[in-house]
Amino acid sequence: MSYTYEYPRPAVTADIVLFSSFENRDYVLLILRKHPPFEECWAFPGGFIGMDETLEVSALRELEEETGLKGIALKQFRTYGDPGRDPRYRTITVVFTGRCDGLPEVTGMDDASEAKWHPVDEIPMLGFDHDIILKDVLK
């Protein structure tokens, strides 16, 4: 199926904010980006949706591709689409949240050079608008 339009269209991504608790401390899962934009910057796992995927299937696929985690229950949280949130082009993201037990082992894969659980009270600088998203989720 092919479409041709005379006006620009946005890209759509799914981002995952995954929490866990361990020894009375809350953690969030972040990946270290391997490629621009925000190369070598921490961000939530996520990426572009597939043309034949639902939003949730895209989120689950991206989570597994970038961290190795699978079988996580996710819930759609909110959509973010301010112009300039992605320096490449106009990108709208659908954010999913989830929680898992303990600190499951994660591995940076695909376009993530590293995946790591970060204490919620010690978050490094984040790429895109992920700092805004995290504040909203924590409310």
From the list 56, 65, 114, 122, the catalytic residue is 114
- CB of 70 within 8 A of CB of 60? yes
Q: Which two tokens stand for residue 38?
A: 């925000």
114 is catalytic: yes
Contacts of 15 (CB under 8 A, 6+ apart): 43, 44, 45, 46, 59, 93, 94, 95, 96, 130, 133
Contacts of 43 (CB under 8 A, 6+ apart): 15, 30, 31, 33, 126, 127, 128, 130
Q: Known catalytic residues?
A: 114
